[in-house]
Structure 1
């Protein structure tokens, strides 16, 4: 029996464990090497380099948004097509996604390289930060196509029922990055450029790895030359289905810009560097929840496509419970070890004082974040793009952006920190309303058509 058929037949608990654990491990490793990057940069180059990376962060988020648009959009469609036993269509989606990622990311990176200095200056890079931010981002942009081929195609590896290979892909990329980072920064004295080159080289290996996987014997779906030819309908479907996470990522870049300007105004470069640390730590804590959402995505998509709604509800509930447990554990760690966490990145007393205040406030609603992430992922997994888009936008655009425009003006630096937990709380309430309606609809369908 092939892996995709197991999605509709194996026990839910065993299936979620099989798919989520590799995804969690892979996501943790991926987040860990971002944290390790920052530790090496903070200790090997200094506080100013941490601030420069934070200033450049919105550009990286925009790049990731386009990668998510293609990768997540394609993988959700592929899971549904596999559930419908439409294998040829799934392979066409794979081919078009690969082609689209290559073309879009190359064009976008070249455009950003041309206007890099004005872009960084508009994001708040002053005379001190600009050289560091330029050195870092120019290299990242040169290799961004590798990142998005590796990331986008890896989600499809998981979607076709091979979570272990997807995890191995992340291990390979993270392992190379973790080894090269200290080598380039400390041994070769390459500074912030060394961190960027380590990242790009690791991502290039990852891109080659996933490409060889899809043209080799191990993959159930094959990357065929004929399917690389652009199909307008498939491209539109990929973009439609990936629009929700794309908009969420794009909105994140706007949020990052607003944060940077508020932090620079009310807390200076120390506050920006602190936010850079908080973002890395938050990523490390949230990635296990994303791992669960990545693991349940193919299970939900396959069973929804096969109209096995009872299995969809079971995996959704189990995913929410698991993510909530992890989010509560992360919250406890932050509240207890806030000072030690910040000091790992840099020993500057001012940075530690600002950072430990910020991290406790920004992540105050972490316990409910697991529920919100898994619930929003459900709508993405079943192809309900409009619902997923609204839920994604409810936090970033409808709530967080207005709060960032209002709260800092009223409460200074504290207002910037408070905006995030307020938006998290509001988004969780909105998501709960949508999810309850969806559960009632599926339960009604089950009762009308009992097995």
Structure 2
């Protein structure tokens, strides 16, 4: 058995449900630990500094999604080519894609750092960030932006490993990263009193720890142990263009989706810092809970990508049906928590009873609709695994439209309206991607027949 076979998982043969679950579980735990340090940041900032400090950090959430979502989404798009090459058993092509992807990731990371740091003041002003939290929001997010290259490279290394069926190494890296983040949060904020800047520094350092651990594992894998000779690979320019074609739509999808979230953040900011704190707390839990459905979706992207490379479309159909079933099962307890104990969840982050009351209005609406979000992830990542990143990008645009329409119709009239606007975007994108998937897989099946 070669080194690469010992450290990866080929998902093109065997029991598909078993393989999906075995890949899903480490991926889930890894994503949960990745979210854990974000949640711990919020708990320590909210309890250790103030609710206003939590609002300041939360006010940067949509900008974080917009900017980091672009560059991280691009690396995830690159992963589609990695998975398909691995499914074809073409390690030389996989190696060529990885080398080119690293160059692109560093280039985009550095460019975004320079541009976004210089425009941060204007972006926060455009979002109507409340004056009493503006300075803390600026200081916190400036540090996060200075660490963009670290964040992008960490996500690229994770994507490479996951595309080859290795979800265990990223799990180990994310656990270590989360523990480092928690420790540094306590030291910087509770011991040294560094405020929100300390929380941001802890986040960047923890990402760097994860990057080093993933890089160490990748250096043990011999990508050239199987497949074609490197002389048969197209020149680097063509590879860079191909990566951009498949990676940019995924990046744009994330940013366009974030733009829709910024619409809602704008309406919430107009309501005042108390609502910003409540919204931040609710979205922290939503980000944590959505990792279950997202992990199923990411499992499907690797599964579908590898089987697309191997030309096994019947296996893809079976796997997607199983992914939908798994997504539904994991979201049942999450929906129940959000519907029946929203106040208990909110008290983990907040102390003001009035703000907690706002959360009890918001979270049950999300809880009722959380199944649609899970199905959205399954179809979105399955479509991407098939190599189509354009329609998922359009689905991000649909989310913006839905948030904008419902934001103006009901979001301006109260906090519950903001929740309705959010879930309307999930449902609209889910329906669009479901239709797209069945059209694509139907065409593939007919072409083979």
Q: TM-score if structure 2 supplies the norm length? A: 0.91
Shift of 1:49: 1.2
- Counterpart position of 2:115: 111
- Counterpart position of 1:423: 425
CA contact 2:56–2:137 (8 Å) conserved in 1: yes
- Counterpart position of 2:409: 406
Shift of 1:117: 2.1
- Counterpart position of 1:434: 436
Q: Secondary structure at the match of 1:128?
A: helix
Matched, 1:178 2:182: yes
Distance in 2, Cα, partners of 1:188 & 1:326: 40
The structure-2 alpha-carbon separation of the partners of 1:20 and 1:123, relative to structure 1 and needing over 3 Å to count, comes to same
CA contact 2:73–2:254 (8 Å) conserved in 1: no
Shift of 1:276: 0.9
Shift of 1:337: 1.2
Shift of 1:443: 4.5
- Counterpart position of 2:257: 252
The structure-2 alpha-carbon separation of the partners of 1:363 and 1:249, relative to structure 1 and needing over 3 Å to count, comes to farther
CA contact 2:9–2:164 (8 Å) conserved in 1: no
Matched, 1:397 2:400: yes
Distance in 1, Cα, partners of 2:117 & 2:441: 47
Distance in 2, Cα, partners of 1:282 & 1:199: 19
The structure-2 alpha-carbon separation of the partners of 1:402 and 1:348, relative to structure 1 and needing over 3 Å to count, comes to same
Distance in 2, Cα, partners of 1:48 & 1:131: 11
- Counterpart position of 2:228: none
Distance in 2, Cα, partners of 1:204 & 1:171: 13
Matched, 1:131 2:135: yes
Distance in 2, Cα, partners of 1:398 & 1:117: 26
CA contact 2:342–2:360 (8 Å) conserved in 1: yes
The structure-2 alpha-carbon separation of the partners of 1:363 and 1:237, relative to structure 1 and needing over 3 Å to count, comes to farther
1:16-415 equivalences in 2 (<5 Å):
16-214=20-218, 216-218=219-221, 220=223, 231-265=236-270, 267-394=271-398, 396-409=399-412, 411-415=413-417
Shift of 1:221: 6.8
Which segment drifts farther, 92-101 or 421-430? 421-430
Which segment drifts farther, 197-206 or 355-364? 355-364
CA contact 2:70–2:252 (8 Å) conserved in 1: no
CA contact 1:70–1:100 (8 Å) conserved in 2: no
Q: Secondary structure at the match of 2:132?
A: coil
Shift of 1:442: 4.5
Q: Secondary structure at the match of 1:129?
A: helix
Distance in 2, Cα, partners of 1:298 & 1:21: 14
Shift of 1:160: 1.7
Distance in 2, Cα, partners of 1:181 & 1:316: 40
CA contact 1:4–1:82 (8 Å) conserved in 2: no
Distance in 1, Cα, partners of 2:405 & 2:105: 32
Residues 357-382 of structure 1: CA deviation (Å, up to 9, x unaligned): 11222443112221111011111011
CA contact 1:243–1:389 (8 Å) conserved in 2: no
Shift of 1:106: 1.6
Unaligned runs of 5+ residues in structure 1 are none
Shift of 1:98: 1.3
Q: Secondary structure at the match of 1:217?
A: coil
Shift of 1:389: 2.2
Q: TM-score if structure 1 supplies the norm length? A: 0.91
The structure-2 alpha-carbon separation of the partners of 1:400 and 1:219, relative to structure 1 and needing over 3 Å to count, comes to farther
Distance in 2, Cα, partners of 1:115 & 1:88: 41
Distance in 2, Cα, partners of 1:117 & 1:422: 31
Shift of 1:5: 6.9
Residues 42-98 of structure 1: CA deviation (Å, up to 9, x unaligned): 111111112111221222112322323331111111111122232222111111111
CA contact 1:69–1:238 (8 Å) conserved in 2: no
Shift of 1:36: 1.3
CA contact 2:261–2:403 (8 Å) conserved in 1: no
CA contact 1:247–1:393 (8 Å) conserved in 2: no
Give the count of matched residue pairs. Answer: 438
